[in-house]
Amino acid sequence: GAGVSQSPRYKVTKRGQDVALRCDPISGHVSLYWYRQALGQGPEFLTYFNYEAQQDKSGLPNDRFSAERPEGSISTLTIQRTEQRDSAMYRCASSLGQGGNQPQHFGDGTRLSIL
Amino acid sequence: EDQVTQSPEALRLQEGESSSLNCSYTVSGLRGLFWYRQDPGKGPEFLFTLYSAGEEKEKERLKATLTKKESFLHITAPKPEDSATYLCAVLPGGSNYKLTFGKGTLLTVNP
């Protein structure tokens, strides 16, 4: 079956521009997560949605970062006024629900490069 | 603060040479410990979840074990296609969703 789909796969933009990254979770998965992964590191938690409700945004670095999931399915991570330090791989994951018995399944990510 | 430390950072094996990867963790309670495999350019792929000390899970040439302080991923008679980065993550007792990952072990299996 289809996995977690992220678009675009690569995004290059100039410093100061806004970017929107899209995540289409596995069908039926109510939980959705955004992570950021630096080279040679494991994914780092950014934010979590349960259905359309953003239940935890504690990992978002600052107020330039925001995320939404208005209909409880597709999610968008938006970065305003991008800076070079925002360059990274952004990954989305989804799971059937919360808890240790619901593994998170990851997409192949969006590689963001800020010039 | 929850911490996950994986060792070694990188491991080179000859085909058929068995070995183990280590994941040490410090967490307030443990709701689950997860192993993932990550191929270059791809997202992490779920392998196993372990819940309590003494538990073991197997899949083909991989076996994961768990103690109160660490987990091991044993690789028996590896093949070149087992080459990947293996990531360990913990779900602490106080959270239903917030995984903390280690940095991973880059495994290379030479033919």
Q: For residues B2 and A101, what is the distance between their CA atoms, to the nearest angstrom?
A: 20
pLDDT bucket at A99, cuts 50 / 70 / 90: confident
Place of tokens 């689950």: B32
Structural domain of residue B86, as residue ranges? 3-110
Please check the confidence at residue A100 and state whether its pLDDT lies above 70: no
Q: For residues B28 and B36, what is the distance between their CA atoms, to the nearest angstrom?
A: 21
Phi-psi region of B100 (alpha: psi -120 to 50; beta: other; left: phi over 0): beta
Q: Which of A80-89 are b and which e, b meaning 16 or more Cβ less than 10 Å from the residue's Cβ?
A: eebeeebbbb
Residue type, A89: M
Best A4, A96, A102, A111 residue to mutate vs chain B (most B CBs within 10 Å) = A102
For the segment B1-60, what is each residue's pLDDT rounded down to a tens digit? 889 999 999 999 999 999 999 999 999 889 999 999 999 999 999 999 999 999 999 999
CATH number for the domain harbouring residue B56 = 2.60.40.10
Are the Cβ atoms of A98 and B87 closer than 8 angstroms? no
pLDDT bucket at A1, cuts 50 / 70 / 90: low
Report whether A107 contacts A23 (CB < 8 A): yes
How many domains, in total, are found in chain B?
1
Are the Cβ atoms of B103 and A41 closer than 8 angstroms? yes
